[in-house]
């Protein structure tokens, strides 16, 4: 390499964390209102720059805690977004993650976030950077994984009825599921177990409560749960 050739510009590295929950019979995501430029005052996915001696996973968990107060939750690496014009500050590559939490988990604003808010995926505010594209990709990944793994249980309380479980899957997938087929397949997958307790309703018989088996195999081999 010729010595007079200029070294290429090194891109900055960030992490962004898409957070999903089920609440009020809809799928919601947690957004933070930016307190500083660029896009000051606009909503964005929680995230920030990776520190020099920090792993990507550690950076994602740190940013999640600093901006929302959330910690100890399910977190999975999603995709890398590197469009040269995605950030007006210069060349910034981001590694996106997605997190799943029960609807009862509380979040608070912190660090450089002016405030936090839960928004339904079907009615998002104006969003900074390319974060709308990241959210759309995260939703596709969640729907795909829901069809062959037990990832959906991360969005549920520790105990649930089969009707509540089916409703959760229908909200995420955006389509109705046959009741008999759903129950047969979810029970055959052997990822849940009856607790022995029941939930009493105001109308009709009591509904049996189930929980996710912590020792269950997460992947359903050779077939999708819900075609």
The one catalytic residue in 66, 67, 71, 115 is 115
HSE on the CB side for 77, CA within 13 Å? 12
Task: Note if 54 is an active site residue.
Answer: no
CA pair distance 66, 46, nearest whole angstrom: 9
φ and ψ of 86, to 5 deg: -75, -20
Q: Which residue intervals of 27-130 are DSSP H helices?
A: 56-68
**Other CB atoms within 10 Å distance of the CB of residue 154:** 17
Q: Which residue intervals of the chain are DSSP H helices?
A: 56-68, 131-146, 162-173, 179-188
What residues act catalytically? 115
């Amino acid at each position: 390499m010729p010595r007079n050739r200029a070294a290429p510009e090194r891109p900055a590295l960030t992490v962004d964390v898409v957070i999903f929950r089920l609440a009020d019979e809809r799928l919601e995501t947690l957004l933070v209102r930016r307190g500083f430029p660029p896009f000051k005052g606009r909503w964005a996915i929680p995230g920030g720059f990776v520190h020099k001696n920090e792993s990507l996973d550690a950076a994602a968990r740190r940013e999640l805690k600093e901006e929302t107060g959330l910690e100890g939750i399910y977190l999975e690496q999603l995709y890398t977004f590197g469009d040269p014009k995605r950030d007006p500050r210069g060349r910034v590559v981001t590694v996106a993650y997605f997190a799943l939490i029960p609807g009862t988990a509380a979040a608070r604003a912190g660090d450089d976030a002016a405030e936090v808010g839960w928004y339904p995926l079907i009615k998002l505010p104006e969003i900074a950077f390319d974060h709308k594209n990241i959210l759309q990709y995260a939703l596709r990944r969640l729907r795909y994984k829901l069809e062959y793994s037990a990832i959906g249980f991360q969005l549920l309380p520790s105990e649930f009825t089969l009707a509540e479980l089916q409703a959760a899957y229908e909200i995420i997938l955006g389509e109705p599921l046959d009741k008999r087929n759903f129950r047969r397949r979810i029970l055959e997958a052997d990822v849940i177990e009856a607790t022995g307790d029941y939930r009493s309703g105001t109308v009709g018989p009591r509904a049996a409560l189930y929980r996710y088996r912590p020792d269950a195999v997460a992947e359903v081999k050779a077939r999708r749960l819900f075609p």
